[in-house]
Amino acid sequence: LFPHGGGVVAMTGGGARGLSSSMLSAFEVLDRGDLVRIEGEAVTVGKLPLKMAEEMAVAAEKHIKWYLSSIGKKKTNKSGTSSKEGGGGGGVGGGKDGKTNSSNKSAVDIKITASHEDHPRSSASFIILRAHTSKGCILAASALGERGKKASAVGHSCAQMLVAEWKAGGCVDSHLQDQLIIFMALANGQSKLRCGPLTLHTRTAIYLAEKLTGANFTVTPISDDGRKPPPEVRFDPKTGELKTKEQFLDDYKRSEEWETARGATEEAEVRNRKRGRQSKSKFKTGPPVLLQCTGIGHVASVKK
């Protein structure tokens, strides 16, 4: 548990049977479907009161309500907060947000619970929210309480992040992106994944996976409004400019310069972040992207 540790994680796996002769299968996740449910938990631990968890839950609900009403979706109210200490929080109703169902005949169920956990050493608070879709995709966001920061501000911030994940247009959230790279690289065949603008972790994972496995990744911006998406740009360390792939080829006549510029782009963005500057790279803002990978068809092996 934060901040002192001591938590226990229990996991049940499928066992090693059959893995010695099985290949990882390629996958395609391209359509996330409609938004059908939002759920979450606001929790206080140790000496922090249950009331703080309730304030986080209520603030998150209000922001989600505002977002759903701002896009003109149907709303329905549905309460359902639970607590080990008997406190209340509440669930809210929302609207349906999805591109494939314009009739909007059903509403989004939203339920955020508030609870308290006893702990002898740790005192902390957190909130986690999850958006479920009709195609089984789950996008999540979370936030930790901070000393001097109002509980309502923590809940509002978490809801803001969840809305941002949804508006990014991906089938996975920004924290799951990089976790899937190794599976795409080792799978047998071509995997395709629709996600939001790539994070620095994802781009780093792609770079390492390509170097270590020989798998090949491509990133293609997607436009949902019929307009041509902007081209990918990378930082040219020799000129200090952001250039497209075509510009790199015109200047250097070699594709190697474009590939080398990926690392320079990441370094430039890290420097800009440290200086508090907003990067101009399409990885920070912009349309969702189609991430494709031709895997190497790795055969899993298990030591007995």
Q: Which of 119, 175, 201, 298 is catalytic?
A: 201
Residue 206, φ and ψ in degrees, nearest 5: -65, -45
In terms of Cα–Cα distance, which of 219, 53, 224, 64 is closest to 141? 64
The backbone torsions φ and ψ at residue 259, rounded to the nearest 5 degrees and listed phi first, read -65, -40
- Cα 270 → chain centroid: 20
| 191 φ, ψ (degrees, to nearest 5) | -100, 145
List the one residue out of 206, 220, 217, 199 whose CA is nearest residue 287: 220
Q: Is 201 a catalytic residue?
A: yes
Residue 283 contacts residue 198 (beta carbons within 8 Å): yes
Length of the chain as a residue count: 304
All residues at 6 or more sequence positions from 14 whose CB lies less than 8 Å from its CB, including other chains = none
Distance CA 37, CA 225 (A): 25
CB-based contacts of 147, cutoff 8 Å, min separation 6: none
Is the distance from CB of 110 to CB of 61 less than 8 angstroms?
Answer: yes
Cβ(198)–Cβ(286) below 8 Å: no
Q: How far apart (Å, rounded) are the C-alpha atoms in residues 207 and 265?
A: 12
Catalytic residues: 201
